């Protein structure tokens, strides 16, 4: 233990340790959001931390393989995949959803996916493939906005004040949002219990999604997706019923609090 640490009272040492942990997470989140290697000074700028502090954090993270470095800069390290694997293998929501998604994909012939809400985004957690596989599929762990595609079924669960705040942040980030059209769409989703999207995020692709009733502030959604000709207008109601049944089945399979 350093002289400085020995001179600190237990409460001060605990607070200092928590601050160090929070700063390390801030650095990891900067690298995760970047989607490309970053230089030390850029990481410090985005994290709002002194360069010397970030250098110390990166040295520890690199030694533990949570961060990697090459001539282009720093990026997330291979050891982060271990935590991701542990989450995917042990999470109760994923264990409950996997067999339901397999059945849903087999019954509809479409790609069935599970998303979980995270802040102002939805995260792809797992999927099951249908008979006609999409040419492009989002990687597991990819994040998407809530105001387009299947994200709208999650946004529709929020109160009006939350929706307004999410849309304001999306607009500040440079997203194009038609508030009036989206408000009407969210009202329709709440009324029928599922969302429908056509070419909103990926041209030529359509989806139908329903929210999983988890309770509390944790929300997830089930989606079936395919090419637009796989999901004609006259099929959306039947698919809406299917995804709602799947979402309810997942919710019922989860352990209690």
Token couple for 75: 């990026």
User: Is 166 found in the same domain as 127?
Assistant: yes
User: Is 242 found in the same domain as 136?
Assistant: yes
User: Is 107 found in the same domain as 46?
Assistant: no
Q: What's the DSSP call for residue 71?
A: T
pLDDT at 2: 47
With a cut of 70, say whether residue 30 has pLDDT above it: yes
Distance between CA atoms of residues 251 and 212, nearest Å: 6
User: Is 56 found in the same domain as 97?
Assistant: no
pLDDT, average across residues 177-182: 87
User: Is 240 found in the same domain as 115?
Assistant: yes
Whether 231 maps to a domain, the answer reads: yes
User: Is 141 found in the same domain as 47?
Assistant: no
47-106: pLDDT as tens digits: 999 999 999 999 999 999 999 999 999 999 999 999 888 988 899 999 999 999 999 999
User: Is 129 found in the same domain as 220?
Assistant: yes
The residue out of 50, 79, 108 marking a domain boundary is: 79
User: Is 159 found in the same domain as 38?
Assistant: no
Whether 64 maps to a domain, the answer reads: yes
Q: How confident is residue 228, by pLDDT bands cut at 50, 70 and 90?
A: very high
Domain that holds residue 111: 91-253
pLDDT, average across residues 163-192: 89
- The CATH number that applies at residue 139 is 3.30.450.40
Distance between CA atoms of residues 194 and 210, nearest Å: 5
Q: Dihedral of the CA atoms 26, 27, 33, 34 (nearest 10)?
A: 150
- The CATH number that applies at residue 39 is 1.10.10.10
What value does the CA radius of gyration of the chain take, rounded to a whole number of Å?
A: 21
Number of domains in the chain: 2
Distance between CA atoms of residues 233 and 253, nearest Å: 31
pLDDT at 35: 83
Q: What's the DSSP call for residue 139?
A: P
Give the residue carrying structure tokens 């995949």: 81
- pLDDT: which is higher, 245 or 145: 245
With a cut of 80, say whether residue 7 has pLDDT above it: no
Q: What's the DSSP call for residue 228?
A: G
Whether 85 maps to a domain, the answer reads: no
Whether 165 maps to a domain, the answer reads: yes
Partners of 128 in beta bridges: 112
Distance between CA atoms of residues 127 and 156, nearest Å: 22
The residue out of 32, 49, 79 marking a domain boundary is: 79
Distance between CA atoms of residues 207 and 198, nearest Å: 7
Whether 117 maps to a domain, the answer reads: yes
114-132: pLDDT as tens digits: 999 988 899 999 999 988 8
Q: What is the pTM of this model?
A: 0.81
Distance between CA atoms of residues 187 and 192, nearest Å: 9
Whether 249 maps to a domain, the answer reads: yes
Average pLDDT for the chain = 89
Distance between CA atoms of residues 230 and 233, nearest Å: 10
Whole-number Cα distances in Å, 49 to 5, 6, 43, 44, 255: 21, 25, 8, 5, 41
Q: What's the DSSP call for residue 5?
A: H
The residue out of 79, 103, 128 marking a domain boundary is: 79
- Pairing verdict, β 205-212 and 220-227: antiparallel
- Pairing verdict, β 220-227 and 111-118: antiparallel
User: Is 46 found in the same domain as 112?
Assistant: no
Give the residue carrying structure tokens 């970053």: 38
Whether 86 maps to a domain, the answer reads: no
Residues 207, 119, 29: CA angle, nearest 5 degrees: 115
User: Is 33 found in the same domain as 141?
Assistant: no
User: Is 157 found in the same domain as 249?
Assistant: yes
pLDDT, average across residues 235-255: 93
Distance between CA atoms of residues 93 and 151, nearest Å: 18
Distance between CA atoms of residues 175 and 243, nearest Å: 28
Secondary structure element (H or E) that encloses residue 123, with its range = strand 121-128
Whether 84 maps to a domain, the answer reads: no
Token couple for 257: 């609090």
User: Is 187 found in the same domain as 111?
Assistant: yes
**Nearest alpha carbon to residue 104 among 208, 228, 218:** 208
């Amino acid at each position: 233990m350093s002289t400085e640490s020995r001179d600190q009272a237990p409460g001060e040492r605990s607070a200092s340790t928590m601050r160090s942990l929070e700063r390390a997470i801030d650095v990891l989140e900067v690298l995760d959001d970047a989607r490309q290697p970053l230089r030390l000074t850029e990481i410090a700028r985005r994290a709002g931390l002194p360069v010397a502090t970030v250098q110390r954090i990166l040295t520890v993270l690199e030694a533990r393989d949570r961060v990697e470095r090459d001539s282009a800069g720093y990026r997330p390290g291979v050891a982060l995949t271990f935590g991701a694997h542990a989450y995917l293998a042990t999470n109760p929501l994923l264990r409950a959803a996997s067999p339901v998604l397999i059945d849903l994909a087999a019954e509809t012939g479409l790609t069935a996916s599970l998303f979980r809400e995270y802040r102002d985004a939805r995260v792809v957690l797992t999927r099951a493939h249908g008979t006609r596989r999409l040419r492009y599929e989002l990687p597991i762990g990819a994040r998407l906005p809530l105001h387009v595609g299947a994200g709208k079924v999650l946004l529709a669960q929020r109160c009006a004040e939350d929706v307004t705040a999410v849309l304001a942040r999306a607009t500040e980030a440079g997203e194009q949002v038609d508030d009036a059209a989206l408000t009407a769409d969210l009202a329709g989703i709440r009324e029928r219990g599922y969302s429908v999207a056509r070419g909103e995020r990926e041209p030529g692709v359509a989806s139908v999604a329903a929210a999983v009733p988890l309770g509390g502030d944790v929300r997830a959604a089930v989606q079936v997706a395919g090419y637009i000709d796989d999901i004609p207008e006259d099929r959306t109601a039947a698919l809406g019923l299917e995804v709602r049944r799947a979402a309810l089945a997942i919710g019922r399979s989860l352990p209690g609090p």
